[in-house]
A = this chain, B = another copy of it.
Amino acid sequence: MESRSLAVAVEPGGVPPHVAEAVRAGGGRTVPPAEAEALIWVGKGPDGLSQVLEQGRGITWIQLPSAGIEGYSALIDERHIWTCAKGIYARAVAEHALALALAGLHRLPQLARAHTWQKTVCRDLSGSTVAILGGGGIARCLLDLIAPFDTTAIVVRRHPEPIPGANRVLGMDALHEVLGEADVVVLALALTAETERIIGAPQLQAMKSDAWLVNVGRGKLIDTDALVRVLRERNIGGAALDVTDPEPLPEGHPLWIFDNCIITPHCANPPPLERERFKELIRENVQRRIAGEPLKGLVDPKLGY
């Protein structure tokens, strides 16, 4: 007996070989949108997606290529099943967040620009308090990586259920208080209407004067103008940002200049790894869809992530 296959469209443009391979490995076959039951979207953004869905009336499940999907919010509906790549890059992003946090405490952004030997006092992550905003895959992976450091790890998230490795998990109403305690604040949450500019002037003012802010989520989580002000006035230790608002950060922007700030150009996921992990996710979700099992990276249309 032949096992059931799944008719999968891969759009826009031609089917990339690694995606075709993953669809086949999961038990699917690639077809045009009009014949498809599922859609793997490989575009850089949502342009053209609604047209493909109009052609593909039989499509019931859409796999999006990124972890953050705020660009698709106008399209995400309850008539389709939507999955995204959340979690699959979490380990790499968590490593980047740790690299940025250690760099800040050990004064590497300043020291990389120095041209003379000057007495410098570094600080240790060991013994410090780390606040992580967001309780998803990045937070969990970061908690694993900092486990050997003797830190106090506090996670702030919408629903304060316990997370392994976190000393405390608190709701969003505790944010202000936590910001006053933390030596490092890591932003690792999805961008939604509720989280946009979650770090503005009042939150930056609540931070300790030597604390570092690390953003590996989305640029718009921070009010950039307010951040520029506190960095200029040296009211926090510094900021290490893999994502910015605007992005790309334009030439001449003050964040490029300040020595208490380091920008990494949205490079927390190394592309070869990204491709490998996405391929594996497609294979697994195609397989799960055929078997009728729950898909990975399921998007909640109400929450928007």
Which residues of A are at the interface with B, using a C-beta cutoff of 8 A?
A: 91-92, 95-96, 98-100, 102-103, 105-109, 111-126, 144-145, 147-149, 247-251, 256-257, 262-265, 267-268, 270-271, 273
Set B98, B111, B250: member contacting A264, Cβ < 8 A: B111
**Interchain Cβ contacts under 8 Å between A and B, 30 examples:** A95-B102, A95-B106, A95-B126, A95-B149, A96-B106, A96-B122, A99-B99, A100-B108, A102-B102, A107-B264, A108-B108, A108-B112, A109-B112, A111-B262, A111-B263, A112-B113, A116-B256, A117-B247, A117-B250, A117-B265, A120-B264, A120-B265, A121-B267, A121-B271, A122-B267, A122-B268, A124-B273, A144-B148, A145-B148, A147-B148
Count chain B CB atoms within 10 A of each CB in A99, A119, A251 and give the residue with the most: A99
Check A108–B103 contact: CB distance below 8 A.
yes
A245 to chain B, nearest CB (A): 13
Count chain B CB atoms within 10 A of each CB in A91, A107, A112, A251 and give the residue with the most: A112
Contacts of A262 in B (CB 8 A): 108, 111-112
Set B112, B117, B124, B251: member contacting A112, Cβ < 8 A: B112
Contacts of A271 in B (CB 8 A): 121
Check A124–B267 contact: CB distance below 8 A.
no
Contacts of A113 in B (CB 8 A): 112-113
Check A251–B147 contact: CB distance below 8 A.
no
Check A270–B108 contact: CB distance below 8 A.
no
Given contacts A99-B106, A106-B96, A262-B111, contact A117 B248 (CB under 8 A): yes
Q: Which residue of B has the minimal Cβ distance to A116?
A: B251
A131 to chain B, nearest CB (A): 19
How far apart sit A109 and B98, CA to CA, in the bound complex (Å)? 15
Given contacts A111-B265, A265-B111, contact A126 B256 (CB under 8 A): no
How far apart sit A93 and B187, CA to CA, in the bound complex (Å)? 27
Count chain B CB atoms within 10 A of each CB in A103, A120, A145, A248 and give the residue with the most: A103
Contacts of A123 in B (CB 8 A): 270
Q: Which residue of B has the minimal Cβ distance to A101?
A: B99
Contacts of A249 in B (CB 8 A): 117
How far apart sit A95 and B99, CA to CA, in the bound complex (Å)? 11
A18 to chain B, nearest CB (A): 18
Set B145, B148, B265: member contacting A119, Cβ < 8 A: B265
